[in-house]
Amino acid sequence: MGLLQVVCRAAPCGPAAPQPSVRVRVSSAAMPAHPAAIAVEGLEVSYGAHRALSGVSLSVAPGEVVALLGPNGAGKTTAARCIAGMRRPDGGNARVLGLDPAADRDRMTRVLGVMPQTPGCHRQATPRELLRTHARFFADPLDPDELVARAGLGEVARRRIRTLSGGEVQRCSLALALVGRPRVLLLDEPSSGIDPHGRRHVWGLLAELAADGVGILMTTHSLDEAARVADTVVVLDRGVVRAWDTPASLSASAGRGLLLETPDELDADALAADLRSPVEALGGGRWRVDATSDRIPEVAAWFARTGCRLSGIRADVPDLEDVYLRLTAREDEP
């Protein structure tokens, strides 16, 4: 996709917020020939006195899958609502293939497929009926029967929505978002409530769509899903973008260290001073030393010399979950 990367600092926010170094992806084309699938710049939204979004910027290229991660209340749905044209931001703007979601509603509905957090399916209808009805609104829709199969709805396609399980309703909601052959997809927790086989199926479907050039922005609480499906991850916390990068680069940016376990009282200051490396308490007799794995013998020798018992030592290779937890840590958490 021709992306060049620059190092920058995350945007500032509340007192408890960490200030991690993140890598921001920028298109290598200075003047892209085609507009981004989604471009969001400086989005501001307040609900009364509560600031839900404070200058949120992100973009999704055609064929790119971007996962929007963040704790409950981070502002993910609010951002998605602005992109879908369901709410006007107080500041900044959102564009879908260059279109203004609020002003270009008609053209937007032709290019954007939306799967909301709570499916608005008519509960007395069947998935097949809903898809057929929905298909009539588009000039060149997908074949509803084909879509039933692609979304794994074959067995329940003729049952009323009200009799379906939560996961089956989710699949129906995803199929409805796809029926108009959208070039951009906005999915709010697409695999929430779907069983592990179904999740793989949904992920496969998203990969196929991306390979066809569809730009996808999905919110999710599943870091596993983000790591497996997304080209890019955006971490939002308290209305501010904390990080925006590939899952692999984000994990690498968290740095590596050594994880130690000891059943004894550790004099962490002495260890840090002797090693000339920071030592962080993780609780429960676990410690993290900011050092690479080639220093394991040196650390083991320190324990042998001081008589403090070392019950475990290993290199700490952070995954996306570690990075996410560090970026969104709260002061009042243990």
> Closest distance between ligand ATP and the C-beta of residue 70, in Å?
5
Q: Which is nearer to ligand ATP, 16 or 270 (CB)?
A: 16
> Closest distance between ligand ATP and the C-beta of residue 237, in Å?
9
Nearest to 30 by CA among 58, 4, 56: 4
Q: Which is nearer to ligand ATP, 77 or 328 (CB)?
A: 77
> Closest distance between ligand ATP and the C-beta of residue 66, in Å?
15
> Closest distance between ligand ATP and the C-beta of residue 147, in Å?
27
> Closest distance between ligand ATP and the C-beta of residue 80, in Å?
7
> Closest distance between ligand ATP and the C-beta of residue 77, in Å?
3
Q: Which is nearer to ligand ATP, 57 or 306 (CB)?
A: 57
Q: Which is nearer to ligand ATP, 75 or 318 (CB)?
A: 75
Q: Which is nearer to ligand ATP, 225 or 316 (CB)?
A: 225
> Closest distance between ligand ATP and the C-beta of residue 89, in Å?
12
Give 119's contacts (C-beta < 8 A, 6+ positions apart). Answer: 169, 170, 172, 173, 176
Nearest to 205 by CA among 237, 238, 221, 182: 182
Q: How far apart are the first and last CA of the chain?
A: 41
Chain contacts with ligand ATP (rule: CB under 6 A):
47, 50, 52, 70, 72-78
Q: Is the dihedral of CA 92, 96, 99, 100 positive or negative?
A: negative
Q: Which is nearer to ligand ATP, 75 or 180 (CB)?
A: 75
> Closest distance between ligand ATP and the C-beta of residue 62, in Å?
25
Q: Which is nearer to ligand ATP, 160 or 221 (CB)?
A: 221
3-state secondary structure the chain: CCEEEEEEECCCCCCCCCCCEEEEEEECCCCCCCCCCEEEEEEEEEECCEEEEEEEEEEECCCCEEEEECCCCCCHHHHHHHHCCCCCCCEEEEEECCECCCCCHHHHHHHEEEECCCCCCCCCCCHHHHHHHHHCCCCCCCCHHHHHHHCCCHHHCCCCHHHCCHHHHHHHHHHHHHCCCCCEEEEECCCCCCCHHHHHHHHHHHHHHHHCCCEEEEECCCHHHHHHHCCEEEEEECCEEEEEECHHHHHHHCCCEEEEECCCCCCHHHHHHHHCCCEEEEECCEEEECCCHHHHHHHHHHHHHHCCCCCEEEEECCCHHHHHHHHCCCCCCC
Q: Which is nearer to ligand ATP, 25 or 238 (CB)?
A: 238
Q: Which is nearer to ligand ATP, 120 or 284 (CB)?
A: 120
> Closest distance between ligand ATP and the C-beta of residue 53, in Å?
8
